[in-house]
Amino acid sequence: GYAASIEAIGSLAARYVQPGTQCYDLGCSLGAASLAMLQGSRTPDCQIIAVDNSEAMVDRCAEIVAGHDNIELVLADVRDVPIENASMVVMNYTLQFLDPDSRDALVARICDNLVPGGLFVLSEKVVDEDPNIEDMLVDQHHEHKRRNDYSQLEISRKRAALENVLIPETVAAHRKRLADAGFTHSAVWLRYFNFVSIVAIK
């Protein structure tokens, strides 16, 4: 569902990016969400701050977004970056890699620094409350990988590499955090197996 989420971020930007405000791509990777926001935005003064803590990723992203002066790349931990006057913030599969104890504070800070009516897009791998459903979703995800030419060894290695690094939560836990942070509305708008994208409006 990643491609669908990037396409929709552009459509959401057209509606939610406000003149004279900033947008943030926290955990920007190669800049796909940043470019989607820039291309979708209808405001010529849209400024996007794209943040990643990997120097190699930021360097590669700089090559991809070269020529787009509205995108500012920042090499930093997303927890350390000031968020100011934001109308749209995107975290695409980033929160899940942060220490769970630091997640509440970051989401609250995002909400506090969004302008009224601002939008937060949070995409995450989740776990289902029902263990049987969770097992089925994981099996389906692995089957999807096999159909796309991943070997069993590659699937096992990736799972081992992410264990205790990627710490997923339930959709209910994410929505509670968003409500506690001060978001007025939130909903899952995209789901593919155990990957979801949630929109939250201040």
Sequential pLDDT tens for the chain (202 residues): 788 889 999 999 999 999 999 999 999 999 999 999 999 999 888 899 999 999 999 999 999 999 999 999 999 999 999 999 999 999 999 999 999 999 999 999 999 999 999 999 999 999 877 777 767 766 765 566 567 666 665 545 555 444 556 789 999 999 999 999 999 999 999 988 888 999 999 9
pLDDT score recorded for residue 159: 53
> pTM of the prediction?
0.86
Pairing of strands 47-52, 22-26: parallel
Q: What SS3 state is found at 121?
A: strand
Of 61, 54, 51, 59, the residue nearest 81 (C-alpha) = 51
Question: Do 99 and 141 touch, CB atoms closer than 8 A?
Answer: no
Q: Quick one: 181 exposed, middle or buried, by C-beta within 10 A (0-12, 13-18, 19+)?
A: buried
pLDDT score recorded for residue 138: 66
Of 58, 57, 124, 46, the residue nearest 88 (C-alpha) = 46
pLDDT score recorded for residue 166: 79
pLDDT score recorded for residue 155: 43
- The CA distance from 177 to 110, in Å, is 12
